[in-house]
Amino acid sequence: MVTIDRPPANALDPALLHAGADVIDELRADPPGAVVLTGTGAFFSGGADLRVVPDLPPEEQADLTRVFNVMFAGWYHFPRPVVTAVNGHAVAGGLVLALCGDYRIVGRSGRFGLTEVKVGIPFPSVAMAIVQGEVTPPVLRRLVLRAELFDAATAHALDLFDEQVDDDRVLDRAIAVARDLASHPKGTYELVKLRLRAGALERGRGQFGGADAAARAIGEASTAAKKVLDPGSE
């Protein structure tokens, strides 16, 4: 269980992003059967902390974008099942984080959308690759270009989430799904997930500079995907 706990909105500031990247490294070193990712209070996550991010000097903003990419890539390509228990509002980077789940469960409350174009914050490269891979083009246009916010029922109907339950059942249901996914053969699950997301791997790889840590991670995963898809490749 990984819980985003930075009240009131679980907004993503530099310290929280670095801590999140560290958690992924720890889990990769000793992978669990599955991971449930959730928030606290009324928010899953409100995305980047707009009280902090716009005032950062350029070099710190560049580092923040890099860490965003590392964290998104880390969850999206995590080798074990990831279930997102979306307990409340998930906006901007918070919704991208929710979309990293292999299975996504939402309650009845909250608002959901990608508001980056409204607040003047460009999408990190991996974030765009993830939403392109997980959202149908007509819905993607509404989310990205119009920055629409949807209620939970509409977000579920638009396939942003796989399942909707009462608010007080979100976490229990996510744990049950995670246990079920964890029962699948480990090696097979990892290979199938790699094949499923091979296209997003390539998109993310192409949008990075070569020195970026996430670029290296995506490059390694992309190479592994190619070997899975074409065992004769080098």
From the centroid of its chain, how far is CA 99? Answer: 5
* SS3 state of residue 113: strand
The span from the CA of 148 to the CA of 172, in Å, is: 29
Long-range contacts, 161-165 (Cβ 8 Å, 24+): 161/86, 161/98, 161/104, 161/105, 161/106, 162/103, 162/104, 162/105, 163/103, 163/104, 163/105, 163/106, 164/105, 164/106, 164/107, 164/108, 165/105, 165/106, 165/107
Phi, psi at 214, each rounded to 5°: -65, -35
Starting from the edge strand earliest in sequence, which strands make up the sheet with 2-3, in order? Answer: 2-3, 35-38, 82-86, 103-106, 163-164
Token code pair at residue 2: 């990984």
Token code pair at residue 75: 């969850």
Catalytic machinery residues? 116
From the centroid of its chain, how far is CA 88? Answer: 15
3-state helix, strand, coil in the chain (%, to 5): 55, 15, 30
